[in-house]
Amino acid sequence: MDKILKVQELSVAFGHPKKSVEAVRFLSFEVGKGEILGVVGESACGKTVTCRAILRLNKGANTDGSIVFDGQDILKLDESALRKIRGSRIAMVFQDPTSSLNPVVKIGKQIIEVIRYHQNVSKVEAEEIAISLLKDMEIESPKEKMVQYPFQQSGGVNQRIMIAIALSCDPDILIADEPTSALDVTVQKQILRIFSKLKEEKDIGIIFVTHDFGVIYEIADRIMVMYRGMMMEEGETKEVFEYPLHPYTKLLLSSIPLYGKNIEIASEKSALNQSNGNMVDGCSFAHRCTEIMGKECTTEIISINGTAHKVRCYKYNDKNLP
């Protein structure tokens, strides 16, 4: 599978360089065409910061590493070159559509403006594209919706409108930052079906961010588990669910009713809580890990082992990985 996006050793910090808070560090992953990478982890683990870094939306942040898209390092592009990619070749769907849609501007106008900004088409052509997009999003009466307002719609409809806007320029990469977290289960299923259809029909790479392992299992081809800004484990979805390696992954899976009933969990209920502030030396999960090996877990940065199934843990090396 062609890898269209390659993130290498990404680190993102906020604040003064001498006194900063690291939100992401040493993060590497790839996304291919026609593939869904599920990024899972608790709140404040760095998922959203990572997504925003890909489009250089973290204002005031100190960002290191490389984000190579179609042979270009996004972190090195000037603003003119970045505008040609942002929203056009790489698009993003945010968690809360009400913060992205103008509630008092007609839906059609908002979609048409984005289409005409990125594409050299007439207003009539843009309107036809917009109606077609709404239809693809399984929105009933798309022509009528064009003259309505976001405040008249449900959260599920507005989220599909945001997906339509993101797809309006036929992007190569779609980033979805917890697009189903505020929706009920029935609407969530509809949104997940749309993403699966997009992968199959449009052959685009999708980064799907969530804290819900159940959603990840249903939609993702591969999983990347994050904790305190670092990748703990990555692999094919079925492989990670059936053979979790990192102690943190096991803890997350144990939180799924019934699924994790046979997985040994930490004795303290706070084991999944994450501390704020700067990163610690060594493994960021060491101070809560029930499988800690020794002082190296708390004093040294642990490298990633494995190829298809990767893990950042001293318990494993290339010889004892499954």
The Cα–Cα gap between 94 and 195 comes to 14
Contact in structure between 241 and 214 (CB atoms under 8 Å): no
pLDDT tens-digit profile of 241-276? 999 999 999 988 887 765 544 444 333 333 444 444
As for how many domains the chain has, the answer is 2
Q: What would the DSSP string read from start to end of 157-203? A: HHHHHHHHHHHTT--SEEEEESTTTTS-HHHHHHHHHHHHHHHHHH-
Percentage, residues of the chain above pLDDT 70: 91
Instruction: Say yes or no to pLDDT of 280 above 70.
Output: no
Name which of 59-63, 98-102, 154-158, 173-177 the model is least confident about.
98-102
| pLDDT class of 214 with cuts at 50, 70, 90 | confident
Give residue 220's pLDDT. Answer: 95
Same domain, 264 and 295: yes
User: Do residues 162 and 207 share a domain?
Assistant: no
Same domain, 53 and 108: no
- Identify the CA nearest to 233 among candidates 298, 305, 284, 289: 305
Q: Please give the Cα distance from 179 to 209 (Å, whole number).
A: 8
* Average pLDDT, integer, range 108-130: 94
For residues 224 and 78, state if they share a domain: yes
- Helix, strand or coil, per DSSP, at residue 309: coil
Please determine, for residue 17, whether its predicted confidence score (pLDDT) is greater than 80: no
Q: Are residues 202 and 306 in the same domain?
A: yes
For residues 29 and 8, give the distance between their C-alpha atoms in angstroms, rounded to a whole number: 7
E strands, 49-119, in order: 61-69, 72-73, 90-93
- Which of these, 74, 66, 152, 67, lies nearest to 108 by C-alpha position? 152
- Separation CA 290–CA 239 (nearest Å): 22
On the question of pLDDT at 153 being above 50, the answer is yes
Residues sharing a CB contact under 8 Å with residue 255, sequence separation 6 or more, in sequence order:
213, 272
pLDDT: which is higher, 268 or 146 = 146
Taking only Cα atoms into account, the Rg of the chain, rounded to an integer number of angstroms, comes to: 21
- Give the structural domain span for 152: 104-168
Identify the domain boundary among 144, 168, 192.
168
Q: Evaluate if residue 306 carries a pLDDT over 60.
A: yes
Lowest mean pLDDT among 12-26, 188-202, 247-261, 307-321: 247-261
Claim: this prediction has a pTM higher than 0.95? no
Query: If pLDDT is split at 50, 70 and 90, which confidence band does 94 have?
Result: confident
Q: What's the confidence (pLDDT) of residue 288?
A: 85
Kindly provide the b/e burial profile for residues 224-239, where b requires at least 16 CB atoms within 10 angstroms of the residue's own CB. bbbbbbbbbbbbebee
- Is 192 in the same domain as 291? yes
Residue 1, pLDDT score: 66
Reply yes or no on whether the pLDDT at 166 is more than 50: yes
Mean pLDDT calculated for residue range 10-25 = 88
Q: How far does CA 256 lie from the centroid of its chain?
A: 20
Give the chain's mean pLDDT: 87
Tell me the pairing of strands 205-210 and 36-40: parallel
pLDDT computed for residue 42 by the predictor:
87
Q: Which of 168, 189, 221 is the last residue of a domain?
A: 168
Q: Which residue has the tokens 């403006």?
A: 113
Q: Which residue has the higher pLDDT, 280 or 48?
A: 48
* Boundary-marking domain end, from 150, 168, 186: 168
Are the beta carbons of 198 and 206 closer than 8 angstroms? yes
User: Both 181 and 259 in a single domain?
Assistant: yes
Say whether both 109 and 18 belong to one domain. Answer: no
